[in-house]
C-alpha cells in the first residue's frame, strides 16, 4: 500500500497528466520489447501491483521504481537528462533577461607592448 503524503494534493492537473503519460509510455516500451508485466516486476525486483500502479501513473510510485523500470527497458540514461542545465529553457530565458540591454564598446587600448 502506498504511503500517504501531503505532496499529492499539491500536484497540478498538468503534472498528474504528465505522470500518467510517463506510465503509459513505460507500458508501451515494455510491450514493444515483448516483456510481460510479471517479467518486468521480477526484473525490477518489485511485485506485480507496483508495476501496474506505475503504468497507470500513480504519483505514489517512487522515483527509484521508475528508475528501475527505465533500467530494465534500457532507457536509464534519459533519467539523468530530465533537468540537465543545458536543456533547462526556463533558466536560459532568465539568463537572457539578465543580459545588459546596451553594449557599448570602450575605446580600444593600443599599447605598444600589447601582444
Domains and CATH numbers, the chain: 13-97 (1.10.260.40)
Using pLDDT thresholds of 50, 70 and 90, give the confidence band for residue 60.
very high
* Mean of per-residue pLDDT scores for the chain: 89
For residue 3, which phi and psi values (nearest 5 degrees)? -75, 140
Distance separating alpha carbons of residues 60 and 46, to the nearest angstrom: 14
Q: Please determine, for residue 1, whether its predicted confidence score (pLDDT) is greater than 60.
A: no
Per the document, the length of the chain is: 115
- Single pTM value for the model: 0.75
Nearest to 24 by CA among 62, 43, 52, 65: 52
Closest to 70 (Cα-Cα) out of 16, 38, 33:
33
Question: Which residues, in sequence order, are CB contacts of 37 under 8 Å at separation 6+?
Answer: 30, 48, 51, 52, 55
Residue found under cell 515483448:
34
Instruction: Compute the distance between CA of residue 22 and CA of residue 79 in angstroms, rounded to an integer.
Output: 12
The pLDDT of residue 105: 67
The answer to whether 19 and 59 have CB atoms below 8 angstroms apart is yes
| Number of other CB atoms surrounding residue 41 within 10 Å | 20
Amino acid at each position: 500500500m502506498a504511503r500517504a503524503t501531503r505532496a499529492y494534493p499539491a500536484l497540478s492537473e498538468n503534472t498528474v497528466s504528465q505522470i500518467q503519460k510517463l506510465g503509459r509510455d513505460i507500458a508501451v516500451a515494455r510491450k514493444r520489447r515483448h516483456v510481460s508485466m510479471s517479467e518486468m516486476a521480477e526484473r525490477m525486483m518489485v511485485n506485480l501491483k507496483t508495476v501496474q500502479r506505475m503504468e497507470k501513473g500513480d504519483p505514489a510510485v517512487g522515483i527509484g521504481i521508475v528508475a528501475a523500470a527505465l533500467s530494465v527497458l534500457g532507457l536509464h540514461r534519459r533519467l539523468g537528462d530530465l533537468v540537465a542545465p543545458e536543456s533547462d529553457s526556463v533558466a536560459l530565458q532568465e539568463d537572457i533577461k539578465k543580459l545588459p540591454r546596451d553594449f557599448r564598446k570602450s575605446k580600444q587600448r593600443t599599447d605598444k607592448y600589447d601582444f
